[in-house]
Amino acid sequence: MAGIAVDAMPVTWVVHFLAIAGAVMVLVWNIHFRGGFAWESSDKSLIFNLHPVLMLIGLIIIGGEAIISYRSLPLKKEWKKLIHLVLHAIALILGIIGITAAFKYHNESSIANLYSIHSWMGIGVIVLYGTQWLYGFVIFFFPGGSLALRAESLPWHVLFGLFVYVLAVSTATLGFLEKLTFLEASGLAKYGSEAFLVNFTAIVTVLYGAFVIISALARRPPAEDDSGYTAIEG
Ligand code: HEM
């Protein structure tokens, strides 16, 4: 990838900072304001609370760090590739558990499933994310495609990966909007501290996504083993 005219490394520090801010904010919201978490409980809202936390910290934050690992780590290509695919696997697994929590909450509270644009896009995101991971694993890691297939697949992998990621950030933003709207409809103060916290968490999420994309398109640090095929590595 050619890269935009900015060095990736300083931008990746902004990404790390926003990652910590977003993680702290979603945890404070769900622990301090929403009462914490449970997998089994008579208070079903505690099951739901796992959903935003796992989706943001898992799919969005760890997934974003996975995307920028080629830009943020001063390591050899093989190490970066391993870290990239393992972080994406963790993001995907936490995302699947997070979506399972949303379904579990709905089912145990006799609420319908899949009635919103948020939930429809959410299913699309997790299916595309899983497909992208599997294709990447088979072509670039094991058993690995021919050099020609890898070179041809790479720009598609980068484009499709960034597309799915933008879709994930949009879906999370819709999720914050939907949950806050439910809470406000049942009495939460529209200009209260919790409402501000949720909206600012959504803003940090969008900024995080923006800086992940900038990092991914920026000039990566030269690796010790740069040459040939690696020069077009995403
Ligand atoms: C990319 C991240 C996310 C994905 C892929 C995702 C996916 C989903 C899916 C598939 C459902 C449907 C569950 C069912 O129908 O039983 C759902 C429900 C829900 N999610 Fe998310 N979610 C994400 C992030 C968030 C965030 C950050 C929030 C913030 C609170 C949130 C709030 C909700 C709410 C309120 C519901 C229940 C209402 C509904 O089904 O639309 N989601 N989510």
**Segment 183-198, tens digit of pLDDT:** 999 999 999 999 999 9
First to last CA, the chain: 6
Output the pLDDT for position 219: 94
Q: From atom 32 of ligand 1, which residue's Cα is the shortest distance away?
A: 175
Please identify, by atom number, the ligand 1 atom nearest to the C-alpha of residue 105.
16
Cα–Cα distance measured from residue 54 to residue 73, given in angstroms and rounded to the nearest whole number = 24
Domain boundary assignment for the chain: 4-232
Cα–Cα distance measured from residue 72 to residue 66, given in angstroms and rounded to the nearest whole number = 10
Among residues 172, 177, 169, 170, which one has the least CA distance to residue 199? 177
Cα–Cα distance measured from residue 169 to residue 212, given in angstroms and rounded to the nearest whole number = 11
**Segment 46-62, tens digit of pLDDT:** 999 999 999 999 999 99
Is residue 159 within 8 Å of residue 117, measured between CB atoms? no
Distances (CA, A) of 185 to 109, 189, 195, 231: 18, 9, 12, 53
Q: From atom 1 of ligand 1, which residue's Cα is the shortest distance away?
A: 168
Q: From atom 28 of ligand 1, which residue's Cα is the shortest distance away?
A: 175
On average, the pLDDT of the chain sits at 95
- Quick one: tokens of 106? 């709905």
Side-chain half-sphere CA neighbours of 120 within 13 A: 3
**Segment 88-139, tens digit of pLDDT:** 999 999 999 999 999 999 999 999 999 999 999 999 999 999 999 999 999 9
Class of domain 4-232: mainly alpha
> Quick check: 35 pLDDT over 70?
yes
Candidate from 93, 110, 119, 184 with most ligand 1 atoms within 8 A of CB, to mutate: 119
> Quick check: 226 pLDDT over 90?
no
Please identify, by atom number, the ligand 1 atom nearest to the C-alpha of residue 180.
30
> Quick check: 228 pLDDT over 90?
no
Q: From atom 30 of ligand 1, which residue's Cα is the shortest distance away?
A: 176
Cα–Cα distance measured from residue 116 to residue 103, given in angstroms and rounded to the nearest whole number = 13
CA 2 – ligand 1 centroid, Å: 36
Cα–Cα distance measured from residue 99 to residue 167, given in angstroms and rounded to the nearest whole number = 16
Please identify, by atom number, the ligand 1 atom nearest to the C-alpha of residue 120.
10
Is residue 26 within 8 Å of residue 57, measured between CB atoms? yes
CA 43 – ligand 1 centroid, Å: 19
> Quick check: 224 pLDDT over 70?
no
CA 180 – ligand 1 centroid, Å: 12
> Quick check: 225 pLDDT over 60?
no
Is residue 80 within 8 Å of residue 67, measured between CB atoms? no
> Ligand 1 — pocket residues by CB below 6 A?
51-52, 55-56, 59-60, 99, 102-103, 106, 113-114, 116, 118-119, 122-123, 125-126, 168, 171-172, 175-176, 178-179
Three-state DSSP class for residue 218:
strand
Please identify, by atom number, the ligand 1 atom nearest to the C-alpha of residue 60.
1
Cα–Cα distance measured from residue 55 to residue 50, given in angstroms and rounded to the nearest whole number = 8
Please identify, by atom number, the ligand 1 atom nearest to the C-alpha of residue 123.
10
Is residue 37 within 8 Å of residue 49, measured between CB atoms? yes
pLDDT class of 1 with cuts at 50, 70, 90: low
